[in-house]
Amino acid sequence: AQKVTQAQTEISVVEKEDVTLDCVYETRDTTYYLFWYKQPPSGELVFLIRRNSFDEQNEISGRYSWNFQKSTSSFNFTITASQVVDSAVYFCALSERNTGNQFYFGTGTSLTVIP
């Protein structure tokens, strides 16, 4: 069974639009961590955020914000006023305390921001 589901395979938005990338996870651990990574066209994987299961506060960093809801097992990522440089593949990942440092990655959402 997929532990991390990113149902949106591809999204296209026009520059300056807001866009939300969905991430749904599955775990039985009470202690776990959720991550988002960005993979721009150049190919590297860039860490964006880490959240632990005990902290449901939403996080905002510039135009980026994350909404963590344990009740729906979701950790969604919103980009406000999107820019062309936001075009990338975004991966959500889960790490469970009981399985060591193993990451479970979603299949990624490819975001294209059209100028």
Partner 1 sequence: DAGVIQSPRHEVTEMGQEVTLRCKPISGHNSLFWYRQTMMRGLELLIYFNNNVPIDDSGMPEDRFSAKMPNASFSTLKIQPSEPRDSAVYFCASSLEGVREETQYFGPGTRLLVL
* 56 contributes a contact to partner 1 by CB under 8 A: no
Nearer to partner 1, 37 or 66 (CB): 37
Residue 41 buriedness (CB in 10 A; 0-12 / 13-18 / 19+): exposed
CA distance 92 to 8: 12
* 33 contributes a contact to partner 1 by CB under 8 A: yes
Of 9, 20, 30, 102, which lies in the binding site for partner 1, with binding defined by CB under 8 A? Answer: 102
Of 1, 41, 44, 85, which lies in the binding site for partner 1, with binding defined by CB under 8 A? Answer: 44
Residue 7 buriedness (CB in 10 A; 0-12 / 13-18 / 19+): exposed
Q: Footprint of partner 1 on this chain (CB under 8 A)?
A: 33, 35, 37, 43-47, 50, 52, 91, 95, 100-103, 105, 107-108
